[in-house]
Chain A
Amino acid sequence: MSALDTAAAILILVGVSLNVIATIGIHRFPDVFARMHAAAKPATLGLALALVGTAIVLGEPDDVVKLTLVIGFQFLTAPIAAHMIGRAAYRAGTDLSPETTIDELARALDPTIARSAENE
């Protein structure tokens, strides 16, 4: 294996491991908002690393351009998707985890109503 192949192998393995960690995170975190955090960030970084590894392995300019476009698209859309789910879930009244200590959005939206997590 050349040095490039070794680098590609490490990138692919780290990227896939980050995806496994992300899917473990969506099981173990306590509420939708924490799970969304686990799903958005490590999964996107893992995808970027694995795709860079694939680009090194393939090496054809066409393939590298396609993989770069997919990485760019994912980096653009993952935060938008996570933000929209978070906003929708909050507005729909999804319960916050009991471990939540501060909910600044509730106060910003309506100063008279405190959500349950703030009182505990």
Chain B
Amino acid sequence: MIAVTSIALGAVVLASFLALARLFRRGSLADRVVALDTLLTVVVVGIAVYSARIGSGVYLDVLFITSLVAFVGTVTIARYIERRGT
């Protein structure tokens, strides 16, 4: 399981960098929100894979908080875009 999770964590790092690159690239605010939402999804997957690697569930509560923050943040900025424009 260590070898498999090493590959998976490498892929998670790659995905995080791709999402961060999208976040910092020139684009509209909506583009960045989409990138941030994807980044937080990738972070959730990364924490889950790390839990599988160490064989312990102590970090699983972090998954709730991360996905909750992702949802609330996305909805908040969506309302902001709707009021402000672009």
Interface residues, chain A, with chain B CB atoms under 8 Å away: 1, 5, 8-9, 12-13, 15-17, 19-20, 22-24, 26-27, 32, 35-36, 39, 43-44, 46-47, 50-51, 53-54, 57-58, 60, 62-63, 66-67, 69-70, 73-74, 77, 80-81, 84-85, 87-89, 91-94
* The 8 residue pairs across chains A and B that have the minimum distance between CB atoms: A63-B57, A23-B18, A84-B78, A89-B30, A88-B82, A88-B81, A77-B71, A57-B52
Residues of A within 8 A of B64 (CB): 66, 69-70, 73
Q: Mark B25-56, 1 if CB is under 8 A from A, else 0.
A: 00010110111011001101100110110011
* Interface contact tally, CB-CB below 8 A: 168
Interface residues, chain B, with chain A CB atoms under 8 Å away: 1, 4-5, 7-8, 11-12, 14-16, 18-19, 21-22, 28, 30-31, 33-35, 37-38, 41-42, 44-45, 48-49, 51-52, 55-57, 60-61, 63-64, 67-68, 70-71, 74-75, 78-79, 81-82, 84-86
